[in-house]
Chains A and B, each alone.
Chain A
Amino acid sequence: MHVLLIEDDTEAARFLVKGLRESGYTVDHAADGRDGLFRASEGQFDLIVTDRMLPHLDGLAIIERLRGRNIGTPVLVLSALGGVDDRVRGLKAGGDDYLTKPFAFAELLARIEALLRRRTSTLQTTRLKVEDLEFDLLARRVTRGGREVELTARELKLLEFLMRRAGQVVTRTMLLEGVWDLHFDPQSNLIDVHISRLRQAIDRGTDHPLIHTVRGSGYVLRSDS
């Protein structure tokens, strides 16, 4: 997978490039907006990660020009700006995800993975299945090993979010954003408690737990084999 990183903070960029390469990505780096736009337009990238504030050309302007040229490469915006509306502006400009600095590297990795996978799994589906866990999206019904599992509306949403990203690491922040539409970090360990409730309902009494904790990152739902 080929990733373009547009970041003017050389030190931060060096760490990100290194980390991404160690995680198996091919990474190109552009240090300003003009160079970034040039490379993004010329090269064949699977994903672009761009800083918001850049010399010569702002990160949002890059996205707008790319979209104007019909280049639909997913873009993840990194921003050190503070306001709640910055995120909205970033997504409105055509960005696919938005991450506020400072962030954990694991958070960035999880989001990159999610964006890359999203491209291949946008098919309309009515039924999700991971091992013997089945989710009928139309009837909003979940069964594990053929036995019906009782879940609240929110737990169904949480499970759907995890199952649609089966095999991918999902961070707490991603869950807060995707399931609760909250774009800030509450101080409490809220998500852990909700996951543990879901885990109780899904994995209790089986010897194949499907929901796993990834230390330092978040959670993943996958068949453990």
Chain B
Amino acid sequence: MRFNLFNTTASRLSVGYTLLVTLAVGVTLGSAYVLTESLITDEVDLIIDTELRSLQEKYARSGVPGVTDEINLRIDSWGRIGAVYMLADANFERIAGNVTHWPFDGMPAERWPEFEIGTIEPGRRAVHSVRAAVRTLPGGDLLLVGTDISQGQRFAEKFRFATLWGIGLSTLAAALAGFWFSYKLARRVGEVTRTCQRIMAGESGRRLPVAGANDEFDALAVSVNRVLDRLEEQAGTLRATFDSAAHDLRAPLHRLRTRMDALLLRSPSLEPAVHESVESALREVDHLQRTLATLLQIALAESGAPLAAPAAVDVGELAAELVELFEPVAGAQGLALDCQHETAAIVQGNRQLLAQLLTNLIENGLKYVPSGGRIEVAVRRLADCVRLVVSDNGPGIAPEDRSRAGQPFVRVGSGAKSEGGGLGLTLVAAIARLHRGRLALESNEPGLRVVIDLPA
């Protein structure tokens, strides 16, 4: 299984994190922008208001001439930069001020109207934005006071520009950090996953890497490694117990066989009847030995110990080889035995055990299918497994017996042509389980159909 960087918990988290950062930065910078802009406007408005009030007082004291003088004075000498004044009569005709004509269509409706003004400066014409306020004087004349706000607008524009870039860059930074974070995370999780897969595949000595960073991953790796150590230790104990059991059972059998062998070899002059019965006893010993080997194999497979050193096995090729091996024997019994297999039906497993599994299934067929019948072995590649099917048109197994058929020493049906150990299918089931496979006994209508799915 390969990691898709965009389909991990980490990447989902980092996308959420990026969105959150964008939102937070957007709100912060946006409100700063709005606040600053209104602060600037408020200050402009306050200045305009103050000046209007002082000019209105001047008007009240000394009428139009007084205001005209005051305006001219402010324009010429000490007035503030960017100040705009105009005194007009009721018909909007200019009386005084630094604006050439009334900038609005009649009386502006807003409280703080804005307009543009062209200034006469050496070299170039510039257009300035002006924010203003208008008061009607008691004599019907109109007083306009304004302020050049283009500088403030430029400032606001720059602020807006900076705000947008700020949001964009923080989003980018958050996204990059998130990507890096999920990449790192996916890499470490990937390492753990790969190691686990290799351990599952039989490299039982392998352990999770500990980076030495003393972080939660290291803590996890250390704990998992401790569990793996314990499991390996248990498998070792199991193996040792198994080995000594095998040894204790085989050694006396071996002494027995050797003694009988020696008897036959050293006494060629034995009475024919004695010779015959020693030979027949030897056959029994061999039978006992085979049963013992099968039982040991089942015990080992069922012990939960992992498959030692699995390798790539082409099940199709193996099936073809075994069918070829058994074909003459089947032919001699009047049975048709054939094999259909797809190429490269490869599983990770033990060739000898899989061969034993196939052998037992074929021998089972040879034992139960009456002359004239047929046994078919088929190997197909499915999406995530290799399907092995051994089917025949013999007596089959009754549905109520099928679940018992994989148990030791259970012989089902009465169609047996020769005696058998009754361990064949048990070993098949054990080997299938050892390969993490699934075994199913079905009716072949008529006959037996054994389906084994081995994970590829």
Contacts and interface: CB of A to CB of B under 8 A. Distances in A.
Interface of A: 9, 11-12, 15-16, 18-19, 22, 53, 80-85, 88, 100-106, 154, 180-190, 193-194, 197, 216
B355 interface: yes
Interface in B354-370: 355-356, 359, 363, 366
Contacts of A185: 290
28 contacts: A11-B259, A19-B261, A22-B265, A22-B266, A80-B251, A81-B243, A81-B247, A82-B296, A84-B350, A101-B250, A102-B250, A102-B254, A102-B257, A102-B285, A105-B261, A154-B324, A180-B321, A180-B325, A184-B352, A186-B363, A187-B363, A188-B363, A188-B366, A189-B329, A190-B326, A190-B329, A193-B328, A193-B329
A16 B262 CA distance: 9
Contacts of A81: 243, 246-247
Contact of B297 (A84, A193, A197): A84
Contacts of B325: 180, 182, 190, 194
Interface residues on B, range: 35 or more
A88 B265 contact: no
A80 B351 contact: no
Given A101-B250, A102-B258, A154-B324, A82 B266 contact: no
Contacts of B344: none
Interface in B146-190: none
B290 A187 contact: yes
Interface string B73-85: 0000000000000
B258 A194 contact: no
B200 interface: no
A75 to B, nearest CB: 19
- The SS class assigned to the B binding surface is helix
B332 A82 contact: no
A9 B321 contact: no
A22 B261 CA distance: 13
A105 B251 contact: no
Contact of B309 (A80, A85, A106): A85
B111 interface: no
Contact of B332 (A154, A187, A193): A193
- Of listed A19, A84, A101, residue having the most chain B CB within 10 A: A84
Given A16-B258, A80-B246, A82-B297, A101 B356 contact: no
A11 B261 CA distance: 13
Given A81-B246, A83-B300, A105-B258, A194 B251 contact: no
B107 interface: no
Contacts of B328: 190, 193-194, 197
Contact of B255 (A12, A84, A180): A12
Given A186-B363, A188-B326, A84 B261 contact: no
Contact of B262 (A19, A182, A194): A19
A157 to B, nearest CB: 11
Interface string B87-103: 00000000000000000
Nearest to B261: A105
Nearest to B253: A102
Contacts of B242: 82-83
B308 interface: yes
Contacts of A11: 255, 258-259
Contact of B258 (A12, A82, A197): A12
Contact of A15 (B258, B329, B420): B258
B261 A104 contact: yes
B39 interface: no
Contacts of B246: 80-82
A194 B257 CA distance: 28
A87 to B, nearest CB: 8
A15 B352 contact: no
Contacts of A100: 250, 293
B127 interface: no
A197 B329 CA distance: 11
